[in-house]
């Protein structure tokens, strides 16, 4: 399979019950590379609620999607991911909570996030030689949304505004919703997903992802954190 962009994700463990539910919730299994039926929830159009995040799959971004730089190959990137993971240790947090981030819902970590933030920063910095510079149109589009000076500096240096000190680990569960739908979806997830969430919550590996020509992200390989 040919990929147009790559990314480094935290991809929840496939066999965990909360992963199985949340993967069906989004409707895209990035590990299998296949669509999956949404849960049937009376009065809720799950497909519409999850349309925006579906293409990315169930994940938290560690290094945002990037095009491969000139002179770099997927084989080189694989080796670099393996080497990076060998220098990093498992990160353990207290758990996960449903949170409102503006008008969308996501899972956010509970507990001290210093180690998690350091892991994400290492992904951004250590693999940046593989990232081709972002096209001018992409930079302009991101700036049009309104950025702080720090976010703009990140965009210029790293190709994405929300990295390093502006990074917030989150696992997206919906697109932007109106207030009534937001409340309905939150109540649904509180009832069906929250009881399955792990406590403590551990990140044991990094996932190298590829974006296929249809815009969907696929798991290429997991790399155990063994540092």
Q: What are 63-83's pLDDT values in tens digits? A: 999 999 999 999 999 999 999
Where the chain has pLDDT below 70, the residues are none
Are 207 and 14 within 8 A, CB to CB? Answer: no
Position 227 scores a pLDDT of 86
Position 101 scores a pLDDT of 95
Position 78 scores a pLDDT of 98
Nearest alpha-carbon partner for 162 in 210, 102, 206, 202:
102
Set out the domains of the chain in order of their start, with CATH numbers: 5-224 (3.90.1140.10)
Position 182 scores a pLDDT of 96
Ordered alpha helix ranges (H), 127-216: 136-144, 149-158, 179-192
- Report yes or no on whether pTM surpasses 0.85: yes
Position 80 scores a pLDDT of 98
Q: Tokens 């040919």, residue?
A: 2
Residue 47 C-alpha from the chain's centroid? 19
Position 145 scores a pLDDT of 85
């Amino acid at each position: 399979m040919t990929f147009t962009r790559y990314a480094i994700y935290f991809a929840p463990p496939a066999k965990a019950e909360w992963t199985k539910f949340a993967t069906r919730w989004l409707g895209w299994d990035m590990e299998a590379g296949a669509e999956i039926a949404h849960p049937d929830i009376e009065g809720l159009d799950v497909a519409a609620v999850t349309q925006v995040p579906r293409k990315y799959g169930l994940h938290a971004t560690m290094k945002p999607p990037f095009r491969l730089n000139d002179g770099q190959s997927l084989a080189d990137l694989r080796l670099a991911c393996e080497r990076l993971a060998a220098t990093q240790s498992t990160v353990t947090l207290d758990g996960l909570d449903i949170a409102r981030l503006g008008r969308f819902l996501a899972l956010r970590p509970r507990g001290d996030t210093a180690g998690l933030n350091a892991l994400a920063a290492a992904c951004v910095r250590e693999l940046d030689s593989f990232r081709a510079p972002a096209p001018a149109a992409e930079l302009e589009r991101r700036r049009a949304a309104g950025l702080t000076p720090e976010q703009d500096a990140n965009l210029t240096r790293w190709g994405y505004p929300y990295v390093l000190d502006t990074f917030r680990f989150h696992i997206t569960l919906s697109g932007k919703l109106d207030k009534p739908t937001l409340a309905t979806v939150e109540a649904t997830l509180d009832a069906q997903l929250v009881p399955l969430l792990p406590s403590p919550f551990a990140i044991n590996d990094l996932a190298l992802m590829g974006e296929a020509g249809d815009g969907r992200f696929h798991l290429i390989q997991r790399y155990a954190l063994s540092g």
